[in-house]
Chain A
Amino acid sequence: MRRGFWPVAGWVYLGLLAVFSLLPMAWMLITSIKTQFAAIQFPPEWIPSHPTLDAYAELLSPSREIGRVFLRYLLNSLWVSTATTVLGVIVAVPAAYAFSRFRFPGRNLLFYAVLLRNMFPAVVFLMPLFIMMRWLGLVNTQFSLILTYLTFGLPLSIWLLKGFFDNIPIQLEQAARIDGASRFQAFLLVVMPLSSPGIIATAIYSFIQAWNEYVYALTFLNDDAKLTLPVGLQHFFTEYATNWPGLMAASFIMSVPVVAMFLVLQKYFVRALTDGAVKS
């Protein structure tokens, strides 16, 4: 095997990056299985001498006070993220298809207008959106979050999906229509399956965005029972300041869906972001 300076340097670099990104997660995982006492011990134990799943048991049992609160946040987050994702796909797919296939006046203008949103940091819209939500009477509802996350996720979803649809030869749809499909059936039976990597990628993207979002959830919601996990965790932090294992266990549980989704669907994600092409 050929060995030179650069491959070795590459491995060292990647190794450092891996340590850098994995260390906090390892620390989180280790702390979450420590006892309360071991968690604040100094110098810290790298490998817990008395590992315990107590923190998890407490968080996941609905009969306990902490568990009840945590599970409520978890459900809220799941609901908001799932609704955002489903609505996002329902809106983005036809929009991207229209941008890709139909020629209508103002098509380019509209397309760039959609993308324009992404040029500004999300925080810029915090106050205007808050005021709008107040007008609409949506402050302190989870629907306000779903709406907001939708508008943040849609530009990239539409842009990504348009690329996918652009790469599907129009002749495939024409063939389907001649073979007996209506325009909608041609879309459903031919275009959709071919663009599923793109649809899945955009769905994951919207889900993760919604799942992790903090600032809007903090601003729009004030009813404790409606909070999502990222904001909920902060409450944890202040209310149970000394409960490090509990906090870390909660963080770990929160990252599980994201990591799991990524592991299962990463090949679609990579495909969507790299080539996006469907060879005919």
Chain B
Amino acid sequence: MAEVRLENVRKGYGEALAVDDLSLTIADGEFVALVGPSGCGKTTTLNMIAGLLELDGGEISIDGRRVNDLDPKDRDIAMVFQNYALYPNKSVRKNLAFPLQMRGMARGEIARRVDEAARMLDIGHLLERRPRELSGGQQQRVALGRALVREPKVFLMDEPLSNLDAKLRVQMRSELKRFHQDLKATIVYVTHDQLEAMTMADRMAVMHGGKLQQYDTPERVYAHPANAFVASFVGSPAMNLIPARLTETGIAGDGWQLALPPALLARARQAGSAGVLLGVRHGAIGLLPAATPGAVEARVLTVEPTGDITFLNLRLGESALVASAAPDRHFTPGQPLWLEFDMARLHLFDAASELAL
């Protein structure tokens, strides 16, 4: 297992930069998710680590060795593809054996490793089948097994769960996590699904427009998003972002104002922001039935019960926002509500740069 280091990595397609000056260190044994919307450069990054794409600039090293000019086969990596990329004309056994054969391993050792991987992934009974005779989940396991047998330094995974149905995806998610815990493997995992990244990764690298937005543990990314993009991308429903301006005592939007703690206010002042975005997650909003000092008035637009929690779409001045409440409370559309924000969980972003203040 090994550390993966990316330094100032750049890749363009024609005029557009797909990956723009990306620096990232994935520690030995760490599970890192590259996450972002489609076109953010995450798959391009993974393909460059794999050696399937050449870099336009920068350097990638694996286990301390510069790999820029190495063929994929010489990088000692394994990859799991979104469509599994199992060899359709080979049996499961031969699919698993292929990477070992390519490395000229002795027959006995190949058989031993294939059996071991098959046992570990519970696919022993499928070894003589062809990939097309397998279900999606089984194909997924075989793809994982093919990566596993070689005992590579790094596992690269490109949206490995996105072709599975929702139920299976949740199941495979925890299996992958256990797989990582058992193997202590270095894993670089690409996904567009922030929930997958949150639930599985040790650290997540949020990417947008080819640029790294934030690289931190899921908890910290969730609690302290570096900018408005991360704030809106991570977490579901997305963090509310409400445009406002700074006042003497706090912030104000159209038809509402809110006093802020002096420390937060001072930080915003120091940055010299003209306009700000108030960031607040649904869980940090208290819903009061009557006017209270410090609370701002909003109106209920729609009510969405989900069972465990009820989501409310509210209108605050000209802005829309989402709040949540316990399922036993009742609301009617059009009803006024007073919002009490948890000051410790408020975020301010500069309206121009979108950076956290």
A280 contacts across to B, CB distance below 8 A:
83-86, 88, 131
The residue from B73, B75, B150 contacting A182, defined by CB atoms under 8 A apart: B73
Residues B71-86 near A (CB distance < 8 A): 71-73, 75, 77-79, 81-86
Contact B71 A174 (CB under 8 A): no
Q: Is residue A172 contacting chain B, with contact meaning CB distance below 8 A?
A: yes
B142 to chain A, nearest CB (A): 12
A195 to chain B, nearest CB (A): 10
The residue from A171, A180, A193, A278 contacting B102, defined by CB atoms under 8 A apart: A180
Contact A174 B81 (CB under 8 A): yes
Q: Is residue A114 contacting chain B, with contact meaning CB distance below 8 A?
A: no
Interface size on A, residues (CB 8 A): 19
A180 contacts across to B, CB distance below 8 A:
73, 99, 102-103
Contact B71 A177 (CB under 8 A): yes
Residues A150-200 near B (CB distance < 8 A): 169, 171-172, 174-182, 185, 190, 193-194
B22 to chain A, nearest CB (A): 21
Chain B's closest residue to A190 (CB) is B87
Contact A179 B88 (CB under 8 A): no
Interface centre among B50, B75, B81, B146 (most CB of A within 10 A): B81
A50 to chain B, nearest CB (A): 54
Contact B73 A279 (CB under 8 A): no
| In the complex with contacts A185-B102, A279-B132, A178-B89 CB distance below 8 A | no
Contact A278 B88 (CB under 8 A): yes
Please measure, in the bound complex, the distance between the C-alpha atom of A181 and the C-alpha atom of B82, giving whole angstroms.
20
Chain B: interface secondary structure?
loop
| In the complex with contacts A194-B89, A279-B132, A177-B72 CB distance below 8 A | yes
Contact B87 A172 (CB under 8 A): yes
Q: Is residue B222 contacting chain A, with contact meaning CB distance below 8 A?
A: no
| In the complex with contacts A185-B102, A279-B132, A178-B88 CB distance below 8 A | no
Chain A's closest residue to B78 (CB) is A178
User: What string of 1s and 0s marks CB contacts (under 8 Å) between A76-117 and chain B?
Assistant: 000000000000000000000000000000000000000000
Chain A's closest residue to B102 (CB) is A180
Chain A's closest residue to B81 (CB) is A171
A205 to chain B, nearest CB (A): 23
Residues B38-85 near A (CB distance < 8 A): 50-52, 71-73, 75, 77-79, 81-85
Residues B113-163 near A (CB distance < 8 A): 131-132, 146, 150
Please measure, in the bound complex, the distance between the C-alpha atom of A256 and the C-alpha atom of B51, giving whole angstroms.
51
B152 to chain A, nearest CB (A): 9
B349 to chain A, nearest CB (A): 39
B77 contacts across to A, CB distance below 8 A:
178
A residues with a Cβ closer than 8 A to B are 169, 171-172, 174-182, 185, 190, 193-194, 278-280
Can you offer 20 A-B residue contacts whose CB atoms are under 8 A? A169-B83, A172-B85, A172-B88, A174-B72, A174-B85, A175-B79, A175-B87, A178-B50, A178-B72, A178-B78, A178-B79, A179-B73, A179-B150, A182-B73, A193-B89, A279-B88, A279-B132, A280-B84, A280-B86, A280-B88
